[in-house]
Structure 1
Amino acid sequence: MSSDTKPDIFTYATFDLQALCHRASTLRHGVPCVCDPDQRPASGSFNWAVFIRFEDGTRWVFRAPHPRTFMPIEMGQKLLASEAATLRYLKSHSDIPVPEVYDYCASSDNEIGVPFIFMSVAPGRPLSKTWRPATSPQPSLETPAKAKVLSQLGGITWKLSQLRFDKIGSLFEADAAFEIKECLSRGHMLHQRYCLDIPRGPFASEVDFHDSLVSAFTEQAEILQLSHHCFVAPVPSREDYESSIKFQGAVDLWNDFVTVGRKTDSSDNRLDYIIAGDALRDILRKCPLPAVNSDTFPLCHPDLSVNNIYVDDEYNITCVIDWAFASSIPESMLLTVPGLPQYRDEIPPELHKSFIDGFLAAMPGSMEDRSTRRYRDALERSQISWNVSRLLNLDSIADYSLFARVWRAAHGPHEGIGPYFSQKRRSPHYIRLYKEVQQEDQPLAKIERDENDYFQNQELRKTIAKKLTLMSGWKAQYTADAPQRLRTDMFVASPSLWRWIQECMEGWKEMP
C-alpha cells in the first residue's frame, strides 16, 4: 500500500481510529482492543460498520451513518439517535432479542469525528442465508422451519404490542428518559419524503397519522420522483411468469411502454396517484382498520425482512437488528403478518396461521377469552392494513393491485375502480390540478430524443409501445373536451397483457 493510500477501513468516512479504540476500551474499564485498519466496512443503504475485537475475545460493532446523497447526514444522525434510544428502551422494557447499545453519539462533534453507535454483535446468522425468494434457483428453507420462524415473530409482535405510548412517533433519549417525538417512519422519510412540508408528529390519533402518510404519498406523487411506479402499469413480477426468459421479456415490454412519453414521472401518472391518495384518505377516515386497543400505540419494527432476523442452527431467533425508522404506530399496522423474505413480499396463507398462532400462544393464560377472540379476529383481518401500509409507503411494484384490494374491502366488489377514476379525471378539480402538474413535464422534444435513443434499432418494440399507449387512452385521461376514447374502461397493464404481446411477437417471428 502506498503512503498516500488510505486503509480500507476509511472507505466511507475518515475518522480517528485511535480515539475509537480508546473509547471502546474505556467503556470496558480498560480492556485493550484492536480495530483492523485493513478491514473493509460492511455497508447497507444508510449505515456502514466495522468490527472491534477486545483482548478477551469479545467483539463489538462500530456503526455510523453514510453521507448519502439521497439522505442528508442530518437525517442519518436523527435516525441513529432514535434507533439507539429504541434499542435501549427494548433492552430495559422487554426480552425481545436485540443488540445491546453500549454508547452512541448522534453528532460528529466528538473525539472520533463521526456520529456512531457501539453495539454488540448479533449472535447467529442472518435468515437471508437460507430463506430465499420462491423464484431463486437455490433451494430455500423448508416450510416447517419457516413456520417456526413465523411463530416466533408472532410472539415478538405480542411483546411489542405491550410496549404502549400515548402518541405516535419515534423514541428519543434525553437525561436517561425516553420520549416520543417526531415520527421517523419509512413512509415519512424514504423516497426523499424527509424534505416534504407535511405534519410529522408526534400524532395524538390514528387519523392524524394516516392523514400525514397520505399527504406524504400525494405530495411525492406531485413533486418528487416516482421511479418505477406507474399506477396503471405495475412492474412485472417474476412469480407471474413460467420462466425467467418470459419474465425478462415482460420487463422489457414494460420498460418500452413507460419510456414512451416518460410515463412514470408524467403529469398523467402523477394525477392517478393523487386520485388514489385522496381515495385512500377517504377510506381510512370512514373505515377504521382492525384493532383491539386504538387508544394507545405500540412500538413496531419497520422492516422485519430476512436480512434483519438472525437465527441459530435450529432456527430459533437470536437477534432482530436494524431498528432505524422505528416508531410507535396504530395497532392495526402492528398486527399485520410480516412480509418475507423482503418487506414487500407476501407470505403463503399457511404461514399466516403460524404467525397468528405464535402471537396468541405468547399471550398470558390469564387473558380473557373475549380478548383472545378479538385479537384473533384483528390478526385474521390484518391483511388490509398490510396493503395500506405497503401502498402508502410506495414499497411495492404492484401499487394498483394493492389499491384494488383496499378499494374492494371498503366498497365491495361491485363498485368499480374504473368508473371512479374516470369521474375524477373529468372533474374540474383534477383537471385544474393536472394543468398545474403538467408544467413540470419534460419538453416534448426532450422526451422524443430520449425515446429515439432508447429504441435505437428497435422499431418493432417502439411501434408496439406507441400503439399500446394509444389504445390505453393515456393522453385523453385529464382532458375535459377529449374526443370519444377508444377505451371506455380503465386501462391496466396486467401480466396477461405482456404474455399476450410476447405470444404475438413469437408468432410474427415464425411467419415466413
Structure 2
Amino acid sequence: MVCRLFTRSGIAKKLPGLFSMSRRASSSSSPPTDWNSHSEFFDFTGGARWVCNEEYEMGMRHVPFDMNELAKLAAQSVGAAKCVDVENFGQGLYNKPFLFTMDDGTHVIGKVPNLSAGLPHFTTASEVATMDFARNFLGTPVPKVLAWSSRANENPVGAEFILMEFAPGIPLSIVWDTMGIEAKCKLIMSIGKIQNTWASTTFSQYGSLYYASDLDRPKPCLLTRRDGSQIEEPRFAVGPSNGRYLLDDGRLNVSFDRGPWDTVEQYKRAIGYREISCVQQMAELPLPVMGLYGPRTYTRSRPKKLAALNYYLQLINHLLPTDPSISSSFLWHNDLHVDNIFVNPQNPWEILSIIDWQSVDLRPLFDHTQKPFFLDYDGPSLKLRERPKLPENLSEMSLEAQKEAKDLHYRMELAAYYKMLTYRDTRVLHDATEFTETKSFDMMLLSQKLAEDGEAMYQWCVKELEAEWSNLPGVQAAGNPSFPFHFSSEEVSTIDRDAEDADQGMELMRSLKQSLGNLCPEKGLVRLENYDAAKALLRQKKEELMAQLGCSDDERRVWDHCWPFDN
C-alpha cells in the first residue's frame, strides 16, 4: 500500500500528459540504457526520513534487482520493441512503483515489493490473484496484470514483481476538492454500486485469495452468491492472510497461525493467539501508538498484556454478532482513498480504476465497514433518515468557527448520503456498519493490537462489561450465561489506576501531536526538509514532559529508553 505522504497524485504535476485520456508519452532525449546505474530505483527515496529505527526501516526498503531485465519484460508485456524511459512512480512504504515508457509511447506500471510488504511469494501471488478475481469475477475496474512473478529466484529480475497496465483516468485527489456536491454524490453512488457487487459473493473461508496452483495444499474455493447458489472456482483457493495487521510492527517476523480459517470464531480467536505470540516472542514490544507511557504515567508490561488477551479469548464467543450474514467472509478493498480511485477527468463521478490491492484479504463483513477515507469526518455519529443540521447558534459564532461548522456539516452531508445509499442498496453492509457501533465490536477492535497498546483500557472495559453483560446479543443468544470473571477489590483498584494512568498517557500523546503540527511524524516519517526541526522539537518536548512530570534522574533514563520518537 502507498503511504499517503508520497502518493501518485504528485506525478500529475511531473508528467501531466500521462494523466490525459490519450496517454501520450513525453519526449525523452537519449535516455541511458543501463537502468541498473540508478541507485534511486533500489532504495527508499520518498523525500522523508524516519524519526526512529531509521537504519532498520531503510534496510527493509532496500531491494537489489536487475532493472534492465524488468524494463525488458515491461516492453515484452505490451509488444513494444524496447523501453526508453524508467522513472520512480511515487514512493511507497511497502513497494517500489515504477513508470516504464516504451518506444511507441505505451506506458506500463511496475512494482517490486519491499521486504516490509509481507511474506515472500505469498504477498505478490495473492495480490495478482485478488486483482484477477476482482476484475473478472466481480466486475470491478482494476488494472490488468500483464506479467508477474512471486518467486525471486525463478526469474531474471531477481525479485518479485508485477507489471500492469497504466490505470486509465486521473487520481480522484486531483479533482475531489473542486467537485460540486452533485458530482460528489454521483461518485458516492458509483462507489456504492461497486461495493454492492462485492457484497454479492461470500467465501467459505477467511484468509487471502490465491491461484490454487500457488498453494501447496489448496482447498477448493467455494463461493456463495446472493441468491444462495454455490459455485466452486477451481482456479482460486484461500490461503494464509496477508492483511497488514498480521505484518506491521514486527509481526512479519513472528511465528503464529496466519490462516486460512473455516469459521469466524477461528478467525477471531487466532487474533488473540497472534498477539500472545507477539508478546512472548518479540525481544522488544512494538512502540505504542496511542499514548506516551513511562514513569509517572502508565508502565506497559507483558504480564498485563497477556492478562488482557486471555480475557479476550474467554469473551470472544459472546462478542460475535448473532447475524451470520455480517460475519460471512467477503473480499473487500478497505483503503479507498483519493489516490487509489481513478476517475474520468471529464466526468469525475465515473470510476475507471481502483488500484492498490496488496494486502486485501477475506474477512468478516463487520471488519470491512471502513467507509471511503474522503467521507471521514470528526464529529457526531449519523442517524439514518436524519439530515445533519448546522448549529442553532451559528450566527453567534466567530467567522472562523462558522467556517469550521459549515465544513463539518458539508462532510456530514456526504457521509449521510453514503449511509442512506448503503441502507437502500446494500442492506447487509449497513447492518454490518451498525454492528460496529456496539460494545461487542469495540471489545474486538481494541484487541487487534494489544501487543503494542491498549491492555490497560481493555482490562478496564472487561471490568465494566459486567454491568451490561446480560444486554449483549451474543450473551442472550447463548442462554444468558453468568459473567465469567470475578475481580477482587484489590484487582479493581489496580485496573482503575492503570486505566487512569493510561488515559493520562493518551492525553499527553494527543497534546504532543497537536503541538507538533505539521512536524508530527506519520507512520514514523517526516518530510526530508522537516527532519532536523522535527527531531529537535521532539527532543525539546521530551525534556518538557519529564520536567512537567517531575521525573528523577532514574526516571529520565527510563524515558530516554521508552520515548517512541528516538533512534
Q: What band does the TM-score fall into relative to the shorter chain?
A: 0.5 to 0.7
Contact 1:340/1:346 (CA < 8 Å) preserved in 2?
A: no
Q: Deviations over 1:242-264 (max 9, x none)?
A: xxxxxxxxxxxx5xxx3538966
Question: In the alignment, which residue of structure 2 is the partner of 1:338?
Answer: 371
The one of 14, 23, 32 equivalent to 2:73 is: 23
1:19-418 → structure 2 map (5 Å cutoff): 19-28=69-78, 30-37=79-86, 39-68=87-116, 75-108=119-152, 109-129=154-174, 148-175=186-213, 177-224=235-282, 225-229=284-288, 234-235=290-291, 254=292, 258-260=293-295, 266-267=300-301, 270-289=302-321, 291-293=323-325, 296-313=328-345, 314-334=348-368, 336-338=369-371, 340-341=373-374, 349=382, 350=412, 351-362=414-425, 372=427, 376-384=430-438, 387=442, 391-394=446-449, 399=454
- Secondary structure in 1 aligned to 2:100? strand
Contact 1:173/1:179 (CA < 8 Å) preserved in 2?
A: yes
Q: Deviations over 1:355-378 (max 9, x none)?
A: 333335545xxxxxxxx5x66444
For residues 344 and 256 of structure 2, what CA distance do their matches in structure 1 show? 43
- What TM-score do you get using the length of structure 1 for normalisation? 0.62
Question: In the alignment, which residue of structure 1 is the partner of 2:548?
Answer: 464
Shift of 1:180: 0.6
Q: Which amino acid aligns with 1:423?
A: E
Unaligned regions of 5+ residues in structure 2, if any? 1-31, 44-62, 214-233, 383-411, 471-484, 496-537, 553-567
Q: Which amino acid aligns with 1:382?
A: T
Contact 2:107/2:165 (CA < 8 Å) preserved in 1?
A: yes
Unaligned regions of 5+ residues in structure 1, if any? 132-138, 236-253, 364-371, 428-453, 469-512
Shift of 1:379: 3.4
Shift of 1:190: 1.9
Distance 1:357 1:426, change over 3 A: closer
Shift of 1:299: 1.0
Contact 2:286/2:451 (CA < 8 Å) preserved in 1?
A: no
For residues 395 and 340 of structure 1, what CA distance do their matches in structure 2 show? 24
Contact 1:275/1:421 (CA < 8 Å) preserved in 2?
A: no
Question: In the alignment, which residue of structure 2 is the partner of 1:241?
Answer: none
Q: Deviations over 1:212-265 (max 9, x none)?
A: 1122234334554554427xxx44xxxxxxxxxxxxxxxxxx5xxx3538966x
Shift of 1:95: 1.7
For residues 363 and 243 of structure 2, what CA distance do their matches in structure 1 show? 9
Shift of 1:397: 11
Distance 1:117 1:380, change over 3 A: same
For residues 188 and 197 of structure 1, what CA distance do their matches in structure 2 show? 10
Give the alignment's Cα RMSD to 1 decimal.
4.6
Distance 1:323 1:420, change over 3 A: farther
Distance 1:21 1:458, change over 3 A: closer
- Secondary structure in 2 aligned to 1:171? strand
- Secondary structure in 1 aligned to 2:110? strand
Q: Deviations over 1:321-340 (max 9, x none)?
A: 22122221112223x23262
Question: In the alignment, which residue of structure 2 is the partner of 1:243?
Answer: none
Q: Which amino acid aligns with 1:179?
A: A
Contact 1:167/1:203 (CA < 8 Å) preserved in 2?
A: yes
Contact 2:149/2:161 (CA < 8 Å) preserved in 1?
A: yes
Contact 2:144/2:165 (CA < 8 Å) preserved in 1?
A: yes
Q: Which amino acid aligns with 2:336?
A: L
For residues 413 and 53 of structure 1, what CA distance do their matches in structure 2 show? 62
Contact 1:154/1:356 (CA < 8 Å) preserved in 2?
A: no
Distance 1:399 1:461, change over 3 A: closer
Shift of 1:347: 9.3
Q: Which amino acid aligns with 2:239?
A: K
- What TM-score do you get using the length of structure 2 for normalisation? 0.57
Q: Which amino acid aligns with 1:119?
A: M
Contact 2:285/2:452 (CA < 8 Å) preserved in 1?
A: no
Distance 1:153 1:292, change over 3 A: farther
For residues 358 and 396 of structure 1, what CA distance do their matches in structure 2 show? 37
Q: Deviations over 1:46-96 (max 9, x none)?
A: 11011122344331111111145xx67xx1432111101100111110221
Contact 1:126/1:310 (CA < 8 Å) preserved in 2?
A: yes
Distance 1:296 1:215, change over 3 A: same
Distance 1:58 1:425, change over 3 A: farther
- Secondary structure in 1 aligned to 2:192? helix
Contact 1:290/1:381 (CA < 8 Å) preserved in 2?
A: no
For residues 189 and 344 of structure 1, what CA distance do their matches in structure 2 show? 28
Q: Which amino acid aligns with 1:52?
A: F
Distance 1:222 1:302, change over 3 A: farther
Shift of 1:205: 0.3
Distance 1:456 1:98, change over 3 A: closer
For residues 187 and 107 of structure 1, what CA distance do their matches in structure 2 show? 24
- Secondary structure in 2 aligned to 1:36? strand
Q: Which amino acid aligns with 1:214?
A: G
Distance 1:110 1:279, change over 3 A: same
Q: Which amino acid aligns with 2:81?
A: P
The one of 33, 38, 43 equivalent to 1:7 is: 38
For residues 141 and 391 of structure 1, what CA distance do their matches in structure 2 show? 36
Contact 2:251/2:278 (CA < 8 Å) preserved in 1?
A: yes
- Secondary structure in 1 aligned to 2:85? coil
Identity of aligned residues (%): 20
For residues 229 and 36 of structure 1, what CA distance do their matches in structure 2 show? 43
Q: Deviations over 1:8-46 (max 9, x none)?
A: 563334443443343233333x33241525x33532111
Contact 1:360/1:376 (CA < 8 Å) preserved in 2?
A: yes
Count of aligned positions: 391
Q: Deviations over 1:301-320 (max 9, x none)?
A: 24334443333442443322
Shift of 1:119: 0.8
Contact 2:278/2:451 (CA < 8 Å) preserved in 1?
A: no
Q: Which amino acid aligns with 1:260?
A: P
Contact 2:96/2:112 (CA < 8 Å) preserved in 1?
A: yes
Shift of 1:292: 5.0
